Amino acid sequence: MKNRTLSALAATATAAALTLAPALLAQNDPGAAAPTGSGPKLKLSAEIKVNVRNSSDVKFRPAFPFPPDFIPAGADGVDMRTTDPGTSAEISNLALQLDAVLTPDITARARVHVLDLYNRNPTSSEDRILVREAWLRIGKKEDVFEPIQKNSFYIEAGRLPRFSKQIVRKLESYGLWGTAVSRFEENAGEAGASFGNLFYVRAAVASPNPLFFRDPNALAGDNGTPERQPGNVRPIFESGFPILYDAKAQDVNFGGKLQYGGGFGVKMVGPDGQGLDLLAWYFTRDLADSVAIRGTSYSGDIKLLNAFAGFGIAFPLDGRTKREYGINLNLKLGGLTVSGQYVMQNIAGLKRQGPEAEVSWFFPIGGLFASGDQPVFTFLEPAIRYSHIDNRFDTPRLYPAPSVGWDWTKIDIGFRLGIIRGVDLTAEYSKNDMKLFSGAKLHPNEFLLTLRAGF
Q: What is the DSSP letter of 219?
A: S
Question: Considering only CA atoms, which of 170, 150, 188 is closest in space to residue 11?
Answer: 188
Is the pTM higher than 0.85? The answer reads: yes
Q: Which residues, including other chains, have CB under 8 Å from residue 433's CB and lie 6 or more apart?
A: 408, 409, 410, 441, 443
In whole angstroms, how large is the CA radius of gyration of the chain? 23
The answer to whether residue 69 is domain-embedded is yes
The parent domain of residue 100 ranges over 42-454
pLDDT at 253: 61
Q: Which residues, including other chains, have CB under 8 Å from residue 101's CB and lie 6 or more apart?
A: 40, 41, 107
Distance CA 373, CA 393 (A): 59
**What is the CATH number for 285?**
2.40.160.10
The DSSP H or E segment spanning 44 is: strand 41-55
Distance CA 15, CA 360 (A): 41
pLDDT at 26: 40
The answer to whether residues 290 and 307 touch, using CB atoms and an 8 Å cutoff, is no
pLDDT at 174: 98
The answer to whether residue 17 is domain-embedded is no
Digits of tens for pLDDT over the chain (455 positions)?
Answer: 333 433 433 443 334 333 333 433 343 344 444 444 567 899 999 999 999 999 999 999 999 999 999 998 889 999 999 999 999 999 999 999 999 999 999 999 999 999 999 999 999 999 999 999 999 999 999 999 999 988 999 999 999 999 999 988 999 999 999 999 999 999 999 999 999 889 999 999 999 999 999 999 999 999 999 999 998 899 999 999 999 999 999 866 656 689 999 999 999 999 999 999 999 999 999 999 999 999 999 999 999 999 998 888 999 999 999 999 999 999 999 999 999 999 999 999 999 999 999 999 999 998 778 777 888 999 999 999 999 999 999 999 999 999 999 999 999 999 999 999 999 999 999 999 999 999 999 999 999 999 999 99
Distance CA 263, CA 279 (A): 7
pLDDT at 370: 77
The answer to whether residue 37 is domain-embedded is no
The answer to whether residue 31 is domain-embedded is no
DSSP secondary structure, 405-442, as one string: GSEEEEEEEEEEEEEETTEEEEEEEEEEEEE-TTS-EE
The DSSP H or E segment spanning 19 is: helix 2-28
The answer to whether residue 12 is domain-embedded is no
The answer to whether residue 368 is domain-embedded is yes
The answer to whether residue 6 is domain-embedded is no
The answer to whether residue 336 is domain-embedded is yes
User: For the chain, how many structural domains are there in total?
Assistant: 1
